[in-house]
Chain A
């Protein structure tokens, strides 16, 4: 009896350890490696570094950013003036690996940074860039924790050298509520969100707050978490029984694909509304794109746009990588061009220290206005958050179609 107890106690404590470790289950994979572009002789060459998931569950985002940044760097290096050298390291969407990757970049002599692609790693690397006085502009890490220095202070303080090209999560949440209200998509709304993820929770909080102000009724509010993210029957039944006409899904595309699947099986067909994490669902291996038919999502970039710069970028991206670029790619392209504009205006030279570049960039970004693929007249305030207007998209016949 005693022995049995011991074995069981041991086994249960190990199971608990395994549970804790399960969250860190993302594991090593081949190195993404550096993609060095060769600088022209005699030109001013600025070293740009960035980290992102090139392998792992979020690899679709990291690769989009890396690919688009490479295109932008190549275009800029073909012109006169400032040239860039880009090095992009794999962080596998893991904060610890992102810091290691960041240190590799620092040793390489990075002068300005693209931060990290996803929120949690970028929170970690932004603390490093802040301490090391290296300017960082993240294409896509949208959590407010990325730009905040001390969220508990009153008023909240911000890192002065961390900027974002994408909307912050709170902006996504309130913009989504506003969009649903403005377009009259629904009056009764359900939200399914992931309660152990800052990204999902950040969007959820502001969505609900904005919805209350606008008089959108949130009839169903349910959550899930890691390890509990396979069965959504309860969440779907709750939304269905309370008559939600639209379900808002602030999450990444993998759980969303299961929700679409199970909602179809339950015979529930509301309007679905996603955020930028939904981008990528159409390229999920083996996914029946018919399930995502009619899904709305708010994104700052529309690959179908007839704008000349967008068309040129989409063509070039498709030719080189065989995919239609998503908004992560467009944000990364914009980041590099925003750097080009800022570096040119500030007269940055190759021999300037990262710290001197940092001060010059802060001065530029807080005063300049930038026109890019993801919006015209983008501006940044001292917090590092961007101001631009989102575009509504809907999935039709397995492709994203712009609504505006």
Chain B
């Protein structure tokens, strides 16, 4: 029963990684760039939701919507100011800029909201225990975990349907395959990439709310470590692959918790990253990633 409990803890942690990884993988899959500021957009989303609910007493759903809206706008602004001028630059320049944006957001958050920790309101916490109990209370799955996984699945399906069936989605896939050719075919590459960022940042806001609902502490660096773990999860699952991000996130969470429970609480992070290295040695494109063969 203990093992099942650890498994559930792993799944709840993993579901949070998964939802962050979805944003990473979506931006990487289309814009072919690693948006290291993703974790910090998550933090901004969580702060917006926190202030909407705690300070302005808005209903939780409105707070989440507001967070999504503001983060979408923030994503578009970041893309326009920081990434668009570098469209033709080498990918290294964009990567470093992304890290710069990440630090800018953290510092700005600290100036605006100070770094005194805030406790996120638990609006996904219903009833006495905040979860479903099985086997006479021996197993407990919290509602937050259920909501996170459900949201993950919905986002996954929606993203797959969007990229597969809509005109914009087709444009995105075309851009991801060959920007130059896509432009020649009459696709507006700049708009397409902006829309990708807008969607990615909107997803980050949802991830931020769910992250802080599961682990209710909020400081300006809240997004950075989960962001890095989620990036790891996205690489683990095969970066660019939407189901891969989901699978990678869940597995990473489960491995982390089981390593803590059965091997050592001191070494759990080392074990998680060692597993990543092994997987990449055996399958360099990640679990569900497609190997890309480039003709030279």
A residues near B (Cβ < 8 Å) are 1-5, 7-8, 10-12, 14-15, 18-19, 22, 25-30, 55-57, 59-60, 195, 222-228, 230-231, 233-235, 237-238, 241, 254, 257-258, 261, 265-267, 284-288
Contact = CB atoms under 8 A, between A and B. Distances in A.
B34 interface: yes
B158 interface: no
Nearest to A225: B269
A237 to B, nearest CB: 6
B294 A2 contact: yes
B13 A288 contact: no
B190 interface: no
A12 B286 CA distance: 13
Interface residues of B, number: 66
Interface string B15-36: 0000000000000000000101
A3 B13 contact: no
B216 A261 contact: yes
B266 A22 contact: no
Nearest to B269: A228
A57 B293 CA distance: 48
Interface of B: 2, 5-6, 9, 12-13, 34, 36, 50, 54, 91-92, 95, 99, 102-103, 106-107, 110-111, 114-121, 129-131, 137, 140, 142, 214-217, 219-221, 224-226, 228-229, 231-232, 235, 239, 256-257, 260-261, 265-266, 268-269, 280, 284-285, 291-294, 296
Contacts of A10: 91-92, 95
A224 B260 CA distance: 9
**Which of A25, A227, A235, A254: most chain B Cβ within 10 A?**
A25
Contact of A7 (B91, B111, B293): B91
Nearest to B224: A22
Contact of A28 (B92, B107, B231): B107
Contacts of B292: 1, 4
B216 A25 contact: no
Given A1-B291, A55-B115, A234-B261, 19 more contacts: A1-B293, A4-B285, A8-B280, A10-B92, A10-B95, A22-B225, A25-B224, A27-B220, A28-B107, A30-B111, A60-B116, A225-B266, A230-B214, A231-B256, A231-B257, A234-B260, A237-B2, A237-B9, A257-B217
A56 B107 CA distance: 11
Contacts of A60: 116
**Which of A11, A22, A226, A288: most chain B Cβ within 10 A?**
A11
A227 B225 contact: yes
Contacts, number: 154
Contacts of A19: 228
Contacts of B91: 7, 10
B257 A14 contact: no
A12 B215 contact: no
B215 A15 contact: no
Contact of B232 (A15, A25, A28, A233): A15
17 contacts: A1-B292, A5-B284, A18-B228, A22-B221, A25-B221, A27-B103, A227-B229, A230-B217, A233-B6, A234-B6, A234-B260, A234-B261, A254-B117, A265-B130, A267-B140, A284-B119, A286-B54
Nearest to B284: A5
A19 B221 CA distance: 12
A27 B36 contact: no
Nearest to A254: B117
B225 A285 contact: no
A238 B260 CA distance: 10
